[in-house]
């Protein structure tokens, strides 16, 4: 009985022989994952991610994960280097139905960011043109 343990998964109790039980997650480049990341205040957030590269360093093999983040600052893409020394980060496979629901939302967020930046660019162009038109006489030498 020392090798057996009762575990509960989603309300279902299972008796598992711990001497033979193994959990092996298999990941490939391009796999979609959910990333649980601890922030500076100790809270955890879940992000959508995709594995972009495995780097087979001799000392510390590393998985590079692109993570989509959206917060008060907007939408952005960050990269996490995930290895044996990474703290405050966990990953798990992402179900296909979750991705279909998020894809449109992510694209909408990026489109909103693009429009916001275009608007900022147009405003800067207009300010520059105004400056050139109305302040040019202050910068031309008088004869």
39-81 tens-digit pLDDT: 888 898 888 888 898 888 888 889 999 988 777 766 778 899 9
In a domain, 125, yes or no: yes
Range of the structural domain that residue 41 is part of: 25-139
At 123, list the tokens: 């405003």
Is 100 within a domain? yes
Residue 8 counted as domain residue: no
In a domain, 16, yes or no: no
**Which among 36, 61, 58, 62 has a CA at the least distance from the CA of 47?**
36
CA distances from 39 to 42, 50, 62, 67 (A): 5, 20, 21, 14
pLDDT tens-digit series, residues 82-100: 988 888 898 888 876 665 5
Q: Is residue 7 part of a domain?
A: no
Q: How confident is the model at residue 127 (pLDDT cuts 50, 70, 90)?
A: very high
Q: How far is C-alpha 71 from the geometric centre of its chain's CA atoms?
A: 11
Domain count, the chain: 1
Residue 5 lies inside a defined structural domain of this protein = no
**Residue 101 predicted with pLDDT over 50:** no
DSSP-derived letter for residue 43 is -
- Domain membership of residue 12 (yes or no) is no
91: burial class by Cβ within 10 Å (0-12, 13-18, 19+)?
A: buried
**pLDDT at 12 (0 to 100):** 65
């Amino acid at each position: 009985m020392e090798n057996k343990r009762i575990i509960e998964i989603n309300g279902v109790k299972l008796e598992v022989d711990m001497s033979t039980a193994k959990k092996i997650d298999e990941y490939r480049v391009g796999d979609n994952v959910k990333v649980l990341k601890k922030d500076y205040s100790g809270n955890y957030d879940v992000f959508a991610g995709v594995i972009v590269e495995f780097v087979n360093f001799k000392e510390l093999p590393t998985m590079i994960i692109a993570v989509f983040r959206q917060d008060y600052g907007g939408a952005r893409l960050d990269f996490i280097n995930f290895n044996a020394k990474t703290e405050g980060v966990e990953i798990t496979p992402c179900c296909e139905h979750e991705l279909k629901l998020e894809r449109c939302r992510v694209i909408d967020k990026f489109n909103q960011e693009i429009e916001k930046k275009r608007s900022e660019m147009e405003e800067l162009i207009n300010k520059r043109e105004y400056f050139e038109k109305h302040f040019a006489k202050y910068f031309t030498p008088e004869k």
